Amino acid sequence: MAPIPSAAPPASTELPLDCNGRPLDLSRPQVMGVLNVTPDSFSDGGDFFSVDAACERALAMQAEGAAIIDIGGESTRPGAEPVPAVEEIRRVVPVIETLHAQLRIPLSIDTQKAEVMRAAVAAGAGLINDVNALRAPGALAAAAECRVPVCLMHMQGEPRSMQQQPHYDEVLTEVSDFLRQRMAACEAAGIGRERIVLDPGFGFGKTVQHNLQLLAGLDKLAALGQPLLVGLSRKSMIGKLLRLEVGERLPASLALALLAVERGAVLVRAHDVAATWQALQMVAALRDSGAQAPGR
Ligand code: 8Y7
């Protein structure tokens, strides 16, 4: 019997993302583990970080349930200074090469620079996570040539100054319009929809109120039809709402992760992989059970 043609295209999360030959299953919520390879993380005791220590952490994150590891060699924290491309490449490429050989899950490169994208994907990275949504010179062309999926994130302003005076008339509409424009730019450059992940960019040129409005309306961004990634782990909105230091923000980070997944996010970027994975497993268990609230 011939299959019945379906009217609607398949939901973007039915097919796994092809991350440079390694599949990333998005049919259930997944954790993206954060691996910063900057001199202030995994210090070797001097001004450099230790490749061994960074790789050990990535192996632990895979064992804790991470579906992908996001590797970044330049801090994108508010107020951070830019790092030259050669230095960023020197930091990330040895880690990517080692991890590509040691891990089974795909790797993501957190960068805004075309040269770093090319070097990282050549070393084995399977996804480009760009907080600047491929707006840097040459970034669109580089990502198109790399033939890996890209995460397009919204940011107002630039890291150095973005938290000084964030302003929106309607934050949800403006973020949604921006992401649609960047998707169109990608398609024009030869990056098809099957390779695009979207992210509202919590904390990137946003007040606490802006972040809350985006979280409340996340289902509207999910309706753009692409998989949604969110980064809420340990973010300053938690510190501002609860007056907690970075190391004290796990319970609220887990709550935010669940609220985002309930509103359509499929990838959760997180520092605390084991705890986040356990929380997301509870969502998956509830969904898999098919259980419904009575009276529907
Ligand atoms: C995000 C991110 C950071 C995020 C995506 C931090 C690199 C700041 N946040 N990438 N990167 N989304 N896609 O607090 O929210 O981890 S760095």
pLDDT digits (tens, 9 = 90+) for 193-207: 999 999 999 999 999
User: Does the pLDDT value for residue 104 go beyond 60?
Assistant: yes
Residues serving a catalytic function are 235, 269
CA of 76, closest atom in ligand 1: 17
User: Does the pLDDT value for residue 8 go beyond 70?
Assistant: no
Q: Is 136 part of a structural domain of the chain?
A: yes
Q: Is 3 part of a structural domain of the chain?
A: no
Over residues 17-21, the mean pLDDT reads 97
How does pLDDT run across 151-167, given as a tens digit for each residue? Answer: 999 999 988 888 889 99
Over residues 158-185, the mean pLDDT reads 94
Q: Is 295 part of a structural domain of the chain?
A: no
Q: Which helix (H) or strand (E) holds 96?
A: helix 85-102
Q: Whose CA is nearest to atom 14 of ligand 1?
A: 235
Q: Is 4 part of a structural domain of the chain?
A: no
**239-252 b/e with 16+ CB inside 10 Å = b?**
beeeeeeeeebbeb
Burial class (CB in 10 A: 0-12, 13-18, 19+), 281: middle
Query: What is the tally of structural domains in the chain?
Result: 1
Q: Is 12 part of a structural domain of the chain?
A: no
Summary mean pLDDT of the chain: 94
User: Does the pLDDT value for residue 6 go beyond 80?
Assistant: no
How many Å lie between the centroid of ligand 1 and the Cα of residue 231? 5
Testing ligand 1's pocket by substitution, the residue of 74, 111, 269, 272 carrying the most ligand atoms inside 8 A of its CB is: 269
CB distance 37 to 73 below 8 Å? yes
How many Å lie between the centroid of ligand 1 and the Cα of residue 230? 8
CATH value at residue 108: 3.20.20.20
61 is in which domain, residue-wise? 26-287
* CA angle 160–206–204, rounded 5-degree value: 45
Q: Is 272 part of a structural domain of the chain?
A: yes
Q: Is 74 part of a structural domain of the chain?
A: yes
**Residue ranges lining ligand 1, Cβ < 6 Å:** 34, 72, 76-77, 110, 129, 131, 151, 153, 199, 201-202, 229, 231, 235, 269
Cβ count near 213 (within 10 Å) = 18
User: Does the pLDDT value for residue 90 go beyond 80?
Assistant: yes
Q: Is 64 part of a structural domain of the chain?
A: yes
